[in-house]
Amino acid sequence: IVLTGGDDRLWKTWGFPDGNILMTGEGHTDWISGCCFRPSGTQLVTSSGDTTVRIWDLSRRGCILTLRGHSRAVRGCSWHSCGDFVASASMDGTSKIWDVNSERCRYTLRGHKESVNSIEFLPFSSTALTSSADKTLSLWDVRTVSRL
């Protein structure tokens, strides 16, 4: 199964090798910039030009949580390997670590001078990697909200 999102504001799961669409989700009001499965495979996260991050439940076939807090388009998202945290990267120059269980922003990472274009958690750690339009990469300890 492959997951995609695009300018049509939809995310889709595709089956292979046939390439048939298995499921489609709608709800964002602007382009989808990123999408990622929860490690358990039961949910997914999407990021969008509409400034939101959304959590989708595959069995319910719908959005179960909309995370708001960025002031500009969200360029990317990722799920922590434990499944309890989601990260987002935004054109507002910040990244956020969201606690899915409490449904709130746990930390805001500040330090890039321009748009943050991507964020990834390093597997099985409390470290996140961000890339920015300011031509820098940063490693963050998300427990202390500090650059490494």
Q: What is the reported pLDDT for 42?
A: 93
Ordered per-residue pLDDT tens for the chain, 148 residues: 999 999 999 999 999 889 999 999 999 999 999 999 999 999 999 999 999 999 999 998 899 999 999 999 999 999 999 999 999 999 999 999 999 999 999 999 999 999 999 999 999 999 999 999 999 999 999 888 888 7
**DSSP conformation letters of the chain:** -EEEE-TTSEEEEEETTTTEEEEEEE--SS-EEEEEE-TTSSEEEEEETTSEEEEEETTTTEEEEEEE--SS-EEEEEE-TTSSEEEEEETTSEEEEEETTTTEEEEEEE--SS-EEEEEEPTTSSEEEEEETTS-EEEEETTTTEE-
Q: What's the CA gap between 148 and 133, in Å, rounded?
A: 19
Tokens representing 91 are: 């054109």
Report all structural domains of the chain as residue ranges with CATH numbers, in order of start.
Answer: 2-147 (2.130.10.10)
User: What are the φ and ψ backbone dihedral angles of 25, each rounded to 5 degrees?
Assistant: -125, 140
